[in-house]
Structure 1
Amino acid sequence: MKIIHDHAAGIDIGSRRIFISVQGQEVVSFATFTRNFREALDYLLSHGVDTVAMEATGSYWFILYDILHAGGLDVWLVDGRQTKQVPGRKTDVKDCQWIQQLHSYGLLNRCFVAEGDQKEIRSYLRLREDLLRNAAMHVNHMQKALVEMNIRLPEVLSQIHGASGMAVIGAILSGERDPGVLLSLCHTRLRRTKSQEILAALEGFYTERGVFALRIAHEAYLFYMKQIAECDHKLEALLQKGGDGGKGTQSGPRKPIRHNRPDIRDLGAHLLDLFQGRDATILPGITDYTWMQIYSETGNDLERWATEKHFTSWLGLSPGQNSSGTSSRRVKRKGKPLTGQIFRVIAQGLLQSKKIAIGEFGRRLRARKGPMIAIKAMANKLAAQYWRLMVKGTTYVEQGVQTYETQLKKQKEKYLNRLALEFDMKLDKIH
């Protein structure tokens, strides 16, 4: 094999020390404090190193990557599965030497690393998702406290953290116990359609410990909602900064965001601005919020993936190649990319759709292969269409379930005609 990177180094990263291997030099180690990272940069530059490879180890690589990149080095972040050591030779020193050797021969593939505003948006969005999960936990705590006092709001309201539910809980915590007064705080539609059920549900058996637990959960929920609003403010500022202006004009109303809608003005216009007017929400199941999540993980330059198959493979939505001889086994992939999970969640929602063709495709596949394979196949189709839209500008027109079923009938008819020709037979339609 020929050496491709002449001045390459390999770094093995740990929680306490990093180990650096440079060709022709003894392995050296540095502590993981910022000052020591800068010393490591000076060491690499002093030995003429221009490219460095290191594994994506937890979150330890973040700051080291930024310092080396800012110092002018070409930093390659690589998947740990590509650098597996020979069994029986596993030490930190040998690991960094092995990484350096693989990198010098060009045997490693670079991982995608977000940069600039996209990196900031990704950080705030992931933090927002964590806060939403914490807030949901305290919604469950509020439900538990209400049920323990036999206040059956969860049975009569679709969500107790909606406007009506929060108004009733706030009044209870303020000392109100009259079911009629509490009912008056609910939405007009609820009072018109469910007044008797809500009155019965609000006739609880109040206890001091139950009210205390409700107050603690309510205050915690409001705290997390305030933190989510601050994340939305940061995201809006970054989106306003990242556009190039003029191409983000919204031609009509945007798809409604049903759950966890971010408080960002003209979110669709900002995203259209970032993608030069190409609108991902024409694809089924994708709203402005899910589009922003996809952008935060993949960026707006999808040409870094040569084809749609490269893109879906990176997402973990393509079948792996694990065959030997005549046998082929299914191997579960560890560490599924977050973007692939986003497409899976979208596909899971479309699986119940009665009007969208991809939903019918998923239901047919689910009947034969099971729900997991069906969802993955649907997510693969969505991701491929997303790549075509953003790279080639290929538009998407939803034809509906009826058109999809018509195409299936034509395929079956073509197959039957081919079989009839093979057996020297003729098909006649029954009128």
Structure 2
Amino acid sequence: MCGSKGCFTPDLMAMADWLTQCGVTTVAMEATGVYWIGVFQILEAKGFEVKLVNAHHFKTVPGRKTDVLDCQWLQRLHTYGLLSGSFRPEDQVCVLRSYVRQRECLIKSAGIHVQRMQKVLIQMNLHLHKVISDITGLTGIAIIRSIVAGERNPEVLAKLKDPRIKSSTTEIAKALTGDYRSEHVFVLKQELSLYEVYQKEISSIDTEIEKCLAYE
């Protein structure tokens, strides 16, 4: 099934039909990377009992040097009932897990752009991080957006602070007195834009997670 055409979905469906015609009811397969998922889901949907086996358990067995021999060995062990299948959660749990993993990836990617915003602010000698705890909070984002929009007056920028910020307006204004070089502002604008794209996508996936959790 590893050929250029044998791994396409119609081919996998044909394989499942052939196994049914042969009277096969249970299948053992190795869990390698993510390539097993398509086959597993099709076989499971067709009603087969699928046992997912950790490939690491077979690496040290002597005398098997090809995928064909591996398959024959798995078949023999499965016939003898000697295979221990890996845990595979219910489908709805798999759906939720996919969403959560993607959300984690989005958060990590957004974090990269936060770091880049922080770096370019320091390059302009704007020490916003020293007067507020989070540059992506309400105050931080409001100030960064205003800088990107063209505001350079530190007193005006400082007035954007949220009432809950402990630092005074004077302290914030002092931290925002710097060298607003055009190339750095341009980079800040791009990084802010990319950060906001990720925030939008995180919000979108949060909606899907809520739907998944509400599923009965």
- TM superposition score category, shorter chain reference: over 0.9
Richer in helix (by share): 2
1:40 CA drift (Å): 1.1
Q: How does 1:273-312 map to 2 (within 5 A)?
A: none
The number of residues matched between the two structures is 216
Are the counterparts in 1 of residues 120 and 188 from structure 2 also a CA contact under 8 Å?
yes
Structure 2 residue aligned with 1:47 = 22
Q: What SS class does the counterpart of residue 50 from structure 2 fall into?
A: strand
**Is residue 73 of structure 2 the alignment partner of residue 98 of structure 1?**
yes
1:141 CA drift (Å): 0.9
Structure 2 residue aligned with 1:151 = 126
Are the counterparts in 1 of residues 158 and 170 from structure 2 also a CA contact under 8 Å?
no
**Is residue 171 of structure 2 the alignment partner of residue 197 of structure 1?**
yes
**Is residue 199 of structure 2 the alignment partner of residue 225 of structure 1?**
yes
Gaps of 5+ in 1: 1-12, 18-29, 243-431
TM-score (norm 1): 0.48
**Is residue 31 of structure 2 the alignment partner of residue 56 of structure 1?**
yes
Higher relative contact order (CA 8 A, sep 6+): 2
Structure 1 residue aligned with 2:56 = 81
1:89 CA drift (Å): 2.5
Mapped to 1, the partners of 2:71 and 2:149 lie a distance apart of 62
Deviations along 1:336-359, one digit per CA (max 9) or x if unpaired, are: xxxxxxxxxxxxxxxxxxxxxxxx
Are the counterparts in 2 of residues 85 and 98 from structure 1 also a CA contact under 8 Å?
no
CA distance 1:88–1:155, shift in 2 (3 Å) = farther
Tell me the amino acid that sits aligned with residue 171 of structure 1: S
Percent identity over paired residues: 44
Tell me the amino acid that sits aligned with residue 98 of structure 1: W
Gaps of 5+ in 2: none
Structure 2 residue aligned with 1:121 = 96
Q: CA RMSD in A?
A: 1.7
1:111 CA drift (Å): 1.3
1:85 CA drift (Å): 5.2
Deviations along 1:196-238, one digit per CA (max 9) or x if unpaired, are: 3322210010111101100110000000000000111111112
TM-score (norm 2): 0.94
Are the counterparts in 2 of residues 82 and 108 from structure 1 also a CA contact under 8 Å?
no
Deviations along 1:33-62, one digit per CA (max 9) or x if unpaired, are: 011101211221222211100111111111
Are the counterparts in 1 of residues 155 and 170 from structure 2 also a CA contact under 8 Å?
no
1:93 CA drift (Å): 0.6
Tell me the amino acid that sits aligned with residue 39 of structure 2: L
Mapped to 1, the partners of 2:43 and 2:115 lie a distance apart of 45
Structure 2 residue aligned with 1:178 = 153
